[in-house]
Chains A and B, each alone.
Chain A
Amino acid sequence: MTAKPAAGAVLSPEHVRVAEPDRARQRFVLLLVSGAALLLMLLISLSVGATGISLDALPAALGALFRDADDASRRAALVLIDIRLPRTILAALVGACLAVAGAMMQGLFRNPLADPALIGVSSGAALAAVTVIVMGHSFAAPVVAWMGPHALPVAAFIGGITVTGTLVLLAGGRRAVSIAALLLAGLVIGALAQALMGLIAYLSDDRELRDLTLWTLGSLAGSSWAKVMGVAPFALLNLLLLPALVRALNGLLLGEAEAFHLGIDVERMKRLIIVATAASVAAAVAAAGIVGFVGIIVPHVVRLVAGPDHATLLPASAMLGAALLLAADVIARIIVAPAELPLGIVVALIGAPVFLHLVLRRGAYV
């Protein structure tokens, strides 16, 4: 390694040397642990629920799909295949999307506290959702009547990507997207959305107010195969895109000019990152409401363990984010069964102590 130590040996004394982290090993261990955690949580999520039906009933449940079966098998089929399976898949997809989106936004904004709210996707989705909740009985009634339970998620998705699209146009138009302008425009749009939501909340009645409060706390109670089909394309597309973004995100950590020097098409990559994030987060929010925190803590924990290299950060965040949301959802639905806690609350309650413990033990680096 030391090809020409002649001069350097004098000026780089050995006493400053620290053990070099074995990133390959860290990466391997982290991905293995994340994968195992995800698999375990998938199994637990499918096995646990208010009805007490466990995976043991799966063969009977599958049998009930094809031929006449007794009531117990039909019930097992209903619970395992129509309720828990879509819910489990949705929890994993939403968790993965939110964690990855957090990691990408932190890379793009070069700030460990950045989250998708900065590109307006959450406020756009929330504004649209709140509008549907409150106006769904009055002047948006025909749309809601036509789309039924799909009205809210579809509106939230469209709202999210519309606001982000507007922001990108404001911050750059056809020219370069300025991150500083994006940040400022994002703050303004966020405040505007907040104000409009306040206005709508004011106009709402007691029941609608309760609904929109519950929506902002997040829940996967309304999971269905239809929702899985709605979210999966965006989530999977985003996950498949990740390998192509690793180099750009790593380079952007040095700065935009430096990333360009390294051969990264910065403008194209920025737009790609923003579009992928907006689409996947809008889909996640549409399916589960507002679930905060995942996008901040999961990437942070991964960086503490294996450093900021996105080649590790993105896949590990995806798996751990999915595992965290599955764990939170399992707790949400069994702790007060047959009732259910809002998901966002549980994520914060289990996420915050773990996060604090890690940060205090390992030391924050920013």
Chain B
Amino acid sequence: MSDPDRVLSASEASFHIGSARLVENASLDVSVGEVVAVLGPNGAGKSTLLRMMAGELAPASGRIVIAGRDLAHLKASDLARLRAVVAQASTLAFPFTVREVVRLGVSVPGLTRESARVERAVGDAIARVGLSAFSGRLFTELSGGERQRAHIARALCQLTVARAIGGGGQVLLLDEPTSSLDIGHQRIVLEALRSEANAGTAILMVMHDLNLAAAFADRVAIMSHGRIIADGTPRRAMTSEILSRAYGCALSVDRPPAEGIPFVLPAVV
């Protein structure tokens, strides 16, 4: 790859199930320290694109490159040192405690499970998402938002350890990480993600809250019917015209003069 900062990129990637074209010729990349939000209406193919870029789904055509290597040729264990993933809805069959769930993120081969360094990484990750008081609670007894944060902590922990083993340049992929969070916890999680980005991690996340995305993401990619129809900074990409086209309804975009960040509201007809 020409740009060494690009740690994860999809080029002309497509994914089909039967005749349904869920993602069509999508090209998207994320660079070191960058936060990219994927926006779009339900069924636009956002999660499918994310899952392809996480290595979970193999593209029907096109390719995904992570850290300069074709993702299709990477083993699961190698991939786990290059990227962490927070899926949309994760359940748990048996009652691990929060700490145990987060510790699952560090069971990367090459580290002893019980080492003090691992425990410190686990504790840090839990603290970063504001779950310290919950570390002894059973995962199955947590609320939806608490579970979501536990999974984010697990991914953060995986990245911390991966960084310690293999150096920087990791990717974090999240599917609607703030969907069940109240506004206070949204802030905590987004802060944790920003600090992760500052540590050099490239972050790609599917988001539903356009305003949160506009305020937080460095770049947004807007999808509609399986295609990426706009890719750029929130200021450039989030125009009323593009968003209205993507979501299929009239949307008006305001720009408070002080900051210039787009602020989207459904246009009242």
Is A3 interfacial (CB 8 A cutoff)? yes
Considering the complex, give the chain A residue whose CB is closest to the CB of B98: A20
Say yes or no: B96 contacts A307, CB within 8 Å: yes
> Which listed residue, B76, B93, B132, touches A12 by the CB 8 Å rule?
B132
List, in ascending order, chain A residues with CB within 8 A of B191's CB: 7
| A window 1-52: CB within 8 A of B | 1-5, 7-8, 10-14, 16-21, 23-24
Is A232 interfacial (CB 8 A cutoff)? no
The answer to whether residues A260 and B124 also contact, given A112-B94, A265-B77, A303-B94 and a CB cut-off of 8 A, is: no
> Which listed residue, A11, A24, A250, touches B130 by the CB 8 Å rule?
A11
Considering the complex, give the chain A residue whose CB is closest to the CB of B84: A261
Say yes or no: B100 contacts A307, CB within 8 Å: yes
Cβ of A113 to closest chain B Cβ, rounded Å: 11
| B window 171-189: CB within 8 A of A | 184-185, 187-188
> Which listed residue, B94, B126, B129, touches A253 by the CB 8 Å rule?
B94
The answer to whether residues A254 and B90 also contact, given A5-B127, A262-B107, A262-B158 and a CB cut-off of 8 A, is: yes
Q: How far is the CA of A35 from the CA of B135 in the complex (A)?
A: 30
Binds A, one of B136-144, B199-207, B218-226, B235-243: B136-144
Say yes or no: A4 contacts B128, CB within 8 Å: yes
The answer to whether residues A5 and B104 also contact, given A260-B76, A261-B84, A311-B113 and a CB cut-off of 8 A, is: no
List, in ascending order, chain A residues with CB within 8 A of B46's CB: none
Considering the complex, give the chain B residue whose CB is closest to the CB of A19: B136
Is B32 interfacial (CB 8 A cutoff)? no
List, in ascending order, chain B residues with CB within 8 A of A261's CB: 54, 56, 80, 84-85, 87, 155
The answer to whether residues A250 and B104 also contact, given A24-B114, A260-B55, A262-B158 and a CB cut-off of 8 A, is: yes
Say yes or no: A307 contacts B101, CB within 8 Å: no
> Which listed residue, B77, B95, B187, touches A365 by the CB 8 Å rule?
B95
> Which listed residue, A7, A20, A106, A263, touches B80 by the CB 8 Å rule?
A263
List, in ascending order, chain A residues with CB within 8 A of B155's CB: 261
| B window 104-155: CB within 8 A of A | 104-105, 107-109, 113-114, 120, 123-124, 126-138, 140, 155
Cβ of A176 to closest chain B Cβ, rounded Å: 11
List, in ascending order, chain B residues with CB within 8 A of A263's CB: 76-81, 108-109
Say yes or no: B133 contacts A13, CB within 8 Å: yes
> Which listed residue, A14, A250, A265, A307, touches B133 by the CB 8 Å rule?
A14
Say yes or no: B95 contacts A17, CB within 8 Å: no
> Which listed residue, A12, A253, A260, A266, touches B134 by the CB 8 Å rule?
A12
Q: How far is the CA of A4 from the CA of B100 in the complex (A)?
A: 20
Say yes or no: B114 contacts A7, CB within 8 Å: no
> Which listed residue, B54, B92, B130, touches A7 by the CB 8 Å rule?
B130
* Contact-size category for A: 35 or more
Cβ of B98 to closest chain A Cβ, rounded Å: 9
List, in ascending order, chain A residues with CB within 8 A of B188's CB: 7-8, 11
Cβ of A283 to closest chain B Cβ, rounded Å: 27
The answer to whether residues A20 and B136 also contact, given A3-B128, A260-B56 and a CB cut-off of 8 A, is: yes
The answer to whether residues A265 and B104 also contact, given A12-B132, A16-B133 and a CB cut-off of 8 A, is: no
Cβ of A83 to closest chain B Cβ, rounded Å: 41
List, in ascending order, chain B residues with CB within 8 A of A253's CB: 92-94, 96
Say yes or no: B104 contacts A262, CB within 8 Å: yes
Q: How far is the CA of A44 from the CA of B179 in the complex (A)?
A: 58
List, in ascending order, chain B residues with CB within 8 A of A309's CB: 96, 100
List, in ascending order, chain A residues with CB within 8 A of B91's CB: 255
Q: How far is the CA of A23 from the CA of B119 in the complex (A)?
A: 13
Is A257 interfacial (CB 8 A cutoff)? yes
Say yes or no: A11 contacts B136, CB within 8 Å: no
Is B73 interfacial (CB 8 A cutoff)? no
> Which listed residue, B76, B90, B101, touches A265 by the CB 8 Å rule?
B76
Chain A residues within CB distance 8 Å of chain B: 1-5, 7-8, 10-14, 16-21, 23-24, 106-107, 110-112, 247, 250-251, 253-255, 257-258, 260-266, 303, 307-309, 311, 365
Extra contacts, 9 of them, besides A1-B132, A23-B100 (Cβ < 8 A), are A2-B123, A3-B124, A8-B132, A12-B132, A13-B133, A262-B107, A262-B158, A263-B109, A309-B100
13 contacts between A and B (CB under 8 A): A2-B123, A8-B132, A18-B136, A20-B135, A23-B97, A251-B104, A261-B80, A261-B85, A263-B76, A265-B76, A307-B97, A308-B95, A311-B113
